[in-house]
Structure 1
Amino acid sequence: MTTNAELAGRFEEFADLLEADDVEYKPRAYRRAAESIRAHPTPIAGHVEDGDREEIKNIDHVGDAIASKIVEYVETGAIEELEELRAELPIDIADITRIEGVGPKTAGKLYRELGIETLDDLEEAAEAGEIQEIKGFGPKTEENIRENLEFARTIGQRQLLGEARPLADDVLAYLESIDAVERCEVAGSIRRWRETIGDVDVLASSEAAEDVIDAFVGWDSVDDEIESGPAKASVRVGEIRVDLRVVVPDEFGSALQYFTGSKDHNVTLRNYAIDRGMKLNEYGAFDVSEIDDPDSGQRVGERVAGETEEGMYEALGLEWIPPELREDRGEIDAAANGDLPDLLTRDDIRGDLHCHTEWSDGNTSIDAMIEAAEQRGYDYLGIADHAEGPGVVADMGLTDTEIIEQVEAIREVAAATDVEVLAGIEANLDADGGIGLGEPVIEELDVIVASPHSGLGQDAETATNRLVAAIENPAVDVLGHPSGRLLNERSGLEFDATALGEAAAEHGTALEVNSNPRRLDLWGSAVQAAIEAGAPISVNTDAHQPSTLEYMRWGVHTARRGWAEPADVINTWELEELREFLH
Structure 2
Amino acid sequence: MSRNDEIASVLEEFADLLEAKGVEYKPTAYRRAAENVRDHPAPVEGLAGEGEAALEEIDRVGEAIASKIVEYVRTGSIAELEELREELPVDMTALTRVEGVGPKTVGTLYEELGITTLDELEAAAEAGEIREIKGFGAKTEENVLENVPFARKAQERDRLGDARPVADAALSYLADREAVTKLEVCGSIRRWRDTIGDVDVLVASDDREAVVEALVDWPEADATIEAGTNKASVRANGLRVDLRVVAIEEFGAALQYFTGSRDHNIAVRNRAIDRGLKVNEYGVFDVSDVDDPDAGQRVGDRVAGETETGVYDALEMAWIPPELRENTGEVAAAAEDRLPDLLEEGDVRGDLHTHTDWSDGDYTIAEMVEAAAERGYDYHAVTDHASGPGIVGGVGLDADELAEQAEAVSAVREEASIDVLHGVEANVDADGGLSTDADVLADLDIVIASPHSGLGSDEGATERLVRAIEHPAVDVLGHPTGRIINGRPGLSLDFDRIGEAAAREGVAVEVNANPARLDANGEAVRAVIEAGATIAIDTDAHSPRELEHVRYGVHTARRGWAERADVINTRSAEELRAFLEA
TM-score in terms of structure 2 length: 0.94
Match of 1:410 in 2: 409
The yes-or-no answer on 1:159 pairing with 2:191 is no
The verdict on how the C-alpha distance between 1:437 and 1:167 changes in structure 2, with shifts beyond 3 A counting, is same
What is the CA-CA distance between 1:51 and the residue it aligns to?
6.7
1:388 aligned onto 2:415: no
| 1:520 to 2:522 alignment | no
Aligned to 1:463: 461
1:221 Cα offset (Å): 2.5
Q: Name the structure 1 match of 2:441.
A: 442
Query: 1:271 maps to what in 2?
Result: 270
Q: What does 1:448-527 align with in structure 2 at a 5 Å threshold? A: 448-459=447-458, 461-527=459-525
Matched, 1:227 2:217: no
Query: Contact 2:224–2:234 (CA<8 Å) still a contact in 1?
Result: yes
Choose from 562, 567, 570 the match for 1:569.
Answer: 567
Question: Are the counterparts in 1 of residues 449 and 478 from structure 2 also a CA contact under 8 Å?
Answer: yes
SS in 1 for 2:242: strand
Name the aligned partner's letter for residue 199 of structure 2. V
Note the C-alpha offset of 1:568: 0.6
Counterparts of 1:149-548 in structure 2, within 5 Å, are 149-459=148-458, 461-548=459-546
Query: Structure 1: how far apart are the matches of 2:154 and 2:130?
Result: 23
For 2:182 and 2:49, the matched residues in 1 are separated by 31
Structure 2 unaligned regions, length at least 5: none
Q: Deviations over 1:19-44 (max 9, x none)?
A: 33443433233223333444567875
- 4+ long deviations beyond 6 Å: 48-55
**Structure 1 7/217 Cα, relative in aligned 2: closer, same or farther at 3 Å?**
same
| Equivalent residues, number | 581
Tell me the equivalent position of 1:9: 9
Distance 1:267 1:118, change over 3 A: same
C-alpha deviations, 1:50-98, integer Å up to 9, x for none?
Answer: 7798776665544444344334334444322222333344443222221
Q: Which residue in 2 is equivalent to 1:28?
A: 28
The letter for the 2-side match of 1:25 is Y
Conserved in 2, the CA contact under 8 Å of 1:2 and 1:238?
A: no
Q: Distance in 1 between matches of 2:520 and 2:70?
A: 37
Which amino acid counterpart does residue 432 of structure 1 have in structure 2? Answer: D
Q: 1:122 to 1:471 in 2, by over 3 A?
A: same
CA contact (8 A) 2:500 2:533 kept: yes
Asked whether the equivalents of residues 100 and 457 of structure 1 are also in contact (C-alpha less than 8 Å), the reply is: no
Deviation track 1:346-387 (CA, whole Å, cap 9, x = no partner) reads 111110001111011101100100111111111111111111
Separation in 2 of the partners of 1:494 and 1:43? Answer: 42
In 2: Cα distance, 1:485 partner to 1:55 partner: 39
Instruction: For 2:552, give the aligned amino acid.
Output: W
- What is the TM-score normalised by the length of structure 1? 0.94
CA shift for structure 1 position 102: 2.4
Q: Which amino acid aligns with 2:120?
A: D
SS of 1:234's partner is strand
- Cα contact 2:15–2:31 (8 A) shared by 1: yes
**Contact kept? 2:51, 2:70, Cα under 8 Å:** no
CA contact (8 A) 2:48 2:55 kept: no
SS in 2 for 1:201: strand
Instruction: After TM superposition, give the deviation of residue 240 of structure 1 in Å.
Output: 1.9
Letter in 2 for 1:238: N
Q: Deviation string for 1:521-571 (max 9, x for gaps)?
A: 111112112211222101001111111111111111111111111111110
- Kept in 1, the 8 Å contact 2:351–2:379? The answer is yes
CA distance change for structure 1 residues 444 and 22 in 2, over 3 Å: closer, same or farther? farther
Supply the distance in 2 between the matched residues of 1:60 and 1:253 (Cα, whole angstroms): 48
Query: What percentage of aligned pairs have identical amino acids?
Result: 62
Distance 1:61-1:254 versus aligned 2 partners, 3 A rule: farther
SS of residue in 2 equivalent to 1:394: helix
Asked if the contact 1:100/1:491 (under 8 Å) is kept, the reply is no
* 8 A contact 2:423–2:446 mirrored in 1: yes
Over aligned residue pairs, what C-alpha RMSD do you find? 2.3
Structure 1 stretches lacking a partner, 5+ long: none
Q: State the secondary structure of the residue aligned to 2:200.
A: strand
Counterpart of 1:504, as a letter, is A
